[in-house]
Amino acid sequence: MKALKRNNVTVKGKGTQVMLFAHGYGCDQNMWRFVTPAFEEEYKVVLFDHVGFGKADTSKYTQERYSTLQSYAVDVLEICDELNLTDIIFVGHSVSAMIGVLAAIIEPDRFSKLVLIGPSPCYINDGDYEGGFTREGINGLLEFLDSDYLGWSTTMAPVIMGNPQKPELGQELAQSFCSSNEEVAKDFARITFLSDNRDDLPNLRTDALILQCEEDVIAPKVVGEYMHRHLPNSQLVYLKATGHCPNLSAPEETIAAIQQFLGRPQLVREEAGSV
């Protein structure tokens, strides 16, 4: 049961089919608390913390082991293996959306559907590709984070949350950032913002829902549209929610979009609803 302990795995719900929820950068499984209750009657809900965050066992962390997003995908697969999970509906927020894509490429038979909330395969602009950030902008962000992690957390959290009318949400995100293991968080930020997984997208064969928020500074609309064009079996849905964390700022809308997706067993590009 090494992975279950390492990643502080929680299992709840009354159903048999599994929904596996993966949190975004600097967060933990508590960030799903407004979403998962809607699925616990019908599904088995599995939550976990990435190493370095929440109550995961940080003693298992080394830079060598966790050097790429694929490393975190392997953690996901080890959790699935220890729980003997198959036919999984994976719900990933932010960087965990791409971690889920990589996991499903490695072991496609384990996953039936992916829900990708605010995903990005590459954050840096590259030729005709618009990732939302210049190389200089990402370097500056990482330098700020390295030099003053607490200052970065309190400054960036409200911007990432994108809901100034709900300042308590930005404060919660900042607190979550600040409670993370600082060295792991710095390493994970570099891996997250410097990764380029664009070439992996065509290799995914699992049906996927892309949830795109308004005014998302981390994953703007052009990124969601790029994901949709390059994922063979995907649906892109635009939420009215603003910011990068609709699981906190707009859980009802997020739940409704996921429920609608799960009610459509045969998903092909031509049937995609919003684009």
| 148 labelled catalytic | no
pLDDT in tens, 67-114: 999 999 999 999 999 999 999 999 999 999 999 999 999 999 999 999
Q: CATH classification of 2-122+197-271, choosing from 3.30.420.40, 3.40.50.1820, 3.40.50.720, 3.40.30.10?
A: 3.40.50.1820
Share of the chain above pLDDT 90, in %: 87
Separation CA 39–CA 132 (nearest Å): 33
**11 Cβ neighbours under 8 A, 6+ residues apart:** 44, 45, 46, 47, 83
Query: Chain-wide mean pLDDT for the chain?
Result: 93
216 is catalytic: yes
**Among 23, 50, 93, 244, the one annotated catalytic:** 244
pLDDT digits (tens, 9 = 90+) for 107-145: 999 999 999 999 999 999 999 999 999 999 999 999 999
Select which of 23, 93, 94, 153 is catalytic. Answer: 94
Mapped onto helix, strand or coil, the DSSP state of residue 254 is helix
pTM given for the model:
0.93
Task: Say what the pLDDT of residue 272 is.
Answer: 38
Q: What is the pLDDT of residues 156-196, one digit of tens each?
A: 999 999 898 888 989 988 888 888 899 999 999 999 999 99
Q: Which of 216, 228, 234, 249 is catalytic?
A: 216
pLDDT at 225: 97
For strands 88-93 and 18-22, give the pairing.
Answer: parallel
50 has catalytic annotation: no
